[in-house]
Amino acid sequence: MAENVYLAIDLGAESGRVIAGIYDGETIRLEEMHRFPNGPVNVAGTRRWDLIGLWREIQEGLRVAGQQYGDQIVSCGVDSWGVDYVLLTEKDELIGQPYNYRDSRTDGMLEHATTRVPRHEIFAETGLQFMQINSLYQLIAMQLNDPELLGIADRFLMVADFFHWLLCGSKVVEFTNATTSQLYNPTNRDWSAELLRRFELPSKIFPQVVPPGTKLGALRNDVSKQTGIGRIDVVAPATHDTGAAVAAVPTDRTGNANWAYISSGTWSLIGVEVQDAILSAEALSQNVTNEGGIDGTYRLLKNVMGLWLVQECRRSFEREGNSIDYTQLTQLATDAPPFRSIIDVDDDRFLGPDNMVAAIQEWCTEHNEPVPETEGQLVRCALESLALKYRTVLRGIEKLTGESVEVIHIVGGGCKNTLLNQFTADACGVPVIAGPIEATALGNVLIQARSAGEIGTLSEIRSVVKASCELESFEPQNPADWEAALSRYQKLVKS
């Protein structure tokens, strides 16, 4: 069978990439065409997206792919993280320099919002975890601080959807990303007219929501000429990177909630796949989220701070003149004493500190925990605390679904951290299967292949992934030690 090529444009927290997925009808392999830096740009004390710079790099990636694969290329599609958005005027002018979700303008916006609409009513409309980074609170901040800009907006697009507009002219929002906004109603399966009315946000700006796999149109003629690629299809994959990653989990349990996933990276997203959103009082109490998945499913999950803790510690070490790569940091953590220091990884101070090391040390001081001092102690503290957080989230989700989780799949860049994988198996008391690393890109290109008619079901997508990737297993160890650590962690969090 001839090999077809699908291009994933993946915008991650540290870098963006254009990746070719080469599919032979049975297995798929990935080849990186072009990599470029991504992340917030500091502009006059704010954190913004460099959209124009990213667009230049995306076109370069398409050009490289076109030179290598030419007529084999069938389509392309963009994924990124959720919550961040772009506003366009009626004449398609970009309004302002869009913000990155880590910008401080949303400080206090969640509390402000819940004085206008009660927390339980927001959850009943959206089923989403309360986080100040959500699009709702970003828009409320804009409403308060820049009402004149919001007033001239004609179209709201999530970031991945904005790049689809640049690629083919479409002005829609894809389902998996829409559900991260805290403005989407999972029962009505459309934007929440009730919340838009009560928060006095302009409903006219919110476009049609389309399912993953939708063909959005042909590549713009000018982009085709610029890159040398033919007028291929532009397809909306699961544009939320975690939605794409979960589609590529190599499980044979599709349709059941007795397996869990952790999309492990800057954030850790831990959850299960369910057929309908769970909007119960217990779900609200646990502050879980219902984010869209493939085939109308929902990802019942919780966002946890993730390896951001380690990434920012590493940056702090580098500022002190101590450059240590992740492999060395993991070894230092392995050699450090176990359970010396435990933190609440989701404390707000860890969201965007100037110095992560200082933030962790301050937390430990305030909570009478031994203060981690060495690089190994700091990283081990972060990883063990993450694993304990996973355990508490998992048990809460099991309570919501009524099903016990029998295996955890860890996908994404964080699955390379074998120490965290083992800690996760230990803390949760179930086997862990790690891989694939490139789950987001695999999900992106395989959803495109399904759109082209090469693959049928979600189960078939996952079978292709399983046949194409090497996986690593981890069995639980030291249960008594982890139970003691869990008891200590729970007391710390309650305090």
Contact 201, 139 (CB under 8 A): yes
Nearest CA-CA partner of 306 in 178, 396, 415, 399: 415
Residue 170: CB atoms within 10 Å: 21
Q: What is the C-alpha separation between 88 and 379, in angstroms, rounded?
A: 42
Nearest to 351 by CA among 342, 363, 341, 336: 363
Active site residue 295: no
CB 243 within 8 A of CB 443: yes
Sequence letter at residue 439: A
Amino acid at 252: D
What's the count of helices (H) and strands (E) in the chain, helices before strands? 19, 21
Q: Do the beta carbons of residue 314 and residue 330 sit within 8 Å?
A: no
Q: What gap in Å lies between CA 492 and CA 367, rounded to an integer?
A: 7
CA distances from 281 to 78, 110, 187, 402 (A): 35, 19, 16, 15
Among residues 103, 241, 344, 346, which one is catalytic? 241
φ, ψ for residue 49 (rounded to 5)? -85, 140
Long-range pairs, 311-319, Cβ under 8 A, ≥24: 311/14, 311/266, 312/353, 312/356, 313/356, 313/357, 313/360, 313/375, 313/378, 313/379, 313/382, 315/356, 316/355, 316/356, 316/357, 316/358, 317/357, 317/375, 319/355
Q: Which residues are catalytic?
A: 241
